[in-house]
């Protein structure tokens, strides 16, 4: 599964934003986040397929484990997805992710292994809004599809689907 396998939902936004640019906003007190939707949806961290994934040397044993996981995830089918998350307000949730990545917050432990990736600033944040109330089901369905195709969760996801809700556009 790649980021291109996630459907665009008619009447809902799909945005690709550079993670490095979002991280840069954290240090600017007057930074505006209005280009991100304050709507429910799914977001994922997309690694550029032209760049080999390497982990920072400070990652130590965790980096070795993550490197082995990445090799296993991409052995049979390529993926560019490092993390899949959801939010009731994508603007708020992605801002939390960026603040966490810059060490300014402790409230986004999901995806914390992203920060061991060397050059993570090169990644993109793919934002997909969905109908209100469908975000948990959308995340669950995306994580299950990823697991079926790759035999594991995305690299920085530590937990799988939550509960029984499943939703996929058009199904």
| pLDDT of 32 strictly over 90 | no
Q: Could you give the CA distance from residue 59 to residue 121 in angstroms, rounded to a whole number?
A: 17
Compare 42 and 60 and report the one with higher pLDDT: 42
168: tokens are 């996929």
Model pLDDT for residues 63-74, shown as the tens digit of each residue: 889 999 999 999
Domain coordinates of the chain in residue numbers? 11-150
Question: Strands of 124-129's sheet, edge to edge?
Answer: 14-18, 124-129, 41-46, 81-87
| pLDDT of 153 strictly over 80 | yes
| pLDDT of 171 strictly over 80 | no
Model pLDDT for residues 129-147, shown as the tens digit of each residue: 999 999 999 999 999 999 9
pTM over cut 0.75: yes
């Amino acid at each position: 599964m790649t980021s291109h396998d996630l459907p665009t939902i008619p009447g809902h936004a799909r945005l690709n934003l550079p993670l490095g640019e979002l991280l840069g906003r954290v240090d600017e007190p007057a930074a505006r986040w209005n280009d991100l939707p304050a709507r429910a949806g799914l977001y994922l961290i997309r690694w550029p397929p032209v760049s080999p994934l390497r982990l920072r040397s400070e990652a130590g044993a965790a980096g070795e484990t993550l490197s082995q996981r990445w090799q296993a995830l991409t052995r049979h089918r390529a993926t560019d997805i490092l993390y899949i998350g959801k939010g009731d307000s994508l603007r708020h949730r992605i801002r939390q992710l960026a603040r966490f990545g810059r060490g300014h917050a402790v409230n986004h432990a999901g995806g914390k292994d992203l920060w061991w990736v060397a050059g993570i600033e090169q990644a993109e944040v793919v934002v997909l809004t969905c109908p209100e109330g469908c975000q948990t089901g959308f995340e669950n369905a995306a994580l299950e599809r990823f697991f079926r195709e790759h035999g594991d969760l995305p690299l920085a996801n530590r937990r799988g689907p939550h509960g029984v809700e499943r939703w996929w556009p058009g199904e």
